[in-house]
Structure 1
Amino acid sequence: MLIELFEAKIPDFNMEMMGLTQILAAFQNGDELTMKRYNLMNQPEAFTRYPQVMQMLQKEDTLPLTLVDGEIVLIGEYPTIDDLTEITGISFQNVGGCGDNCENCSCGGH
């Protein structure tokens, strides 16, 4: 499975974004699950590979955009840990951010 995140710019840092970044990094080159992140400012060529992404760019407020195996699954918002778990069937609770429960996770935020 390939999950690709297309974003307009590097987002502001917060705990939720830190968790998503950790998950994307952990599965950047996975065997059964690979996650990629593309920034329009730094990697515009990645956007041009997908006609459906280019079509979405013609509309307002469509980024960030998440594709799973080339199909759009989220428009205008970042996937949450729960979204990624639902899409993949993998629990990411101990990989990324933990919200208010940092004592029992691996996010490093405590």
Structure 2
Amino acid sequence: MKIELLEEDIPEFSNEMMILTQVFATFKCGEDLQMARYNFKNQPEIFQNYPQVTQMLEKKDVLPLTLVDGEITLIGDYPTVEDLTEITGLSFQNLGCEEDCQDCSCQ
């Protein structure tokens, strides 16, 4: 399964955003679950890969968009940990960095 978060710009720092960033970093290169975040300001070419996203961008206030295996599942809001649990069936509570984590946002 691949979950992609397409956002307009880097969001303001908050506890919820820190947790979301940690979840996405933890599963960036997972085998069964891959997660990626893309920022329109810095990576607009990614948004062009999805015709449904290009179409959505014609409307106002649609970002962030959450895609699951290329299908839009959440529009205009960031997914919560509960949303991600419902989508994947996995628990994201108490995620922490491994000691040898090289690409982890929580360090």
Separation in structure 2 between the aligned mates of residue 95 and residue 81 of structure 1, nearest angstrom: 11
Q: Does structure 1 residue 85 correspond to structure 2 residue 85? A: yes
Separation in structure 2 between the aligned mates of residue 95 and residue 74 of structure 1, nearest angstrom: 23
RMSD: 1.1
Structure 2 residues without counterparts, runs of 5 or longer: 97-105
| Other-structure match for 1:40 | 40
Separation in structure 2 between the aligned mates of residue 61 and residue 29 of structure 1, nearest angstrom: 30
How many positions carry a matched residue from both structures?
Answer: 97
Aligned ranges for residues 1-110 of structure 1 at < 5 Å? 1-95=1-95
TM-score normalised by length of structure 2? 0.88
Runs of 4+ in 1 over 6 A off after TM superposition: none
Separation in structure 2 between the aligned mates of residue 26 and residue 48 of structure 1, nearest angstrom: 26
Structure 1 residues without counterparts, runs of 5 or longer: 97-107
Separation in structure 2 between the aligned mates of residue 54 and residue 93 of structure 1, nearest angstrom: 33
Deviation at residue 80 of structure 1 after TM alignment? 0.1
Separation in structure 1 between the aligned mates of residue 75 and residue 17 of structure 2, nearest angstrom: 17
TM-score normalised by length of structure 1? 0.86
| Other-structure match for 2:103 | none
Q: Which amino acid aligns with 1:69?
A: D
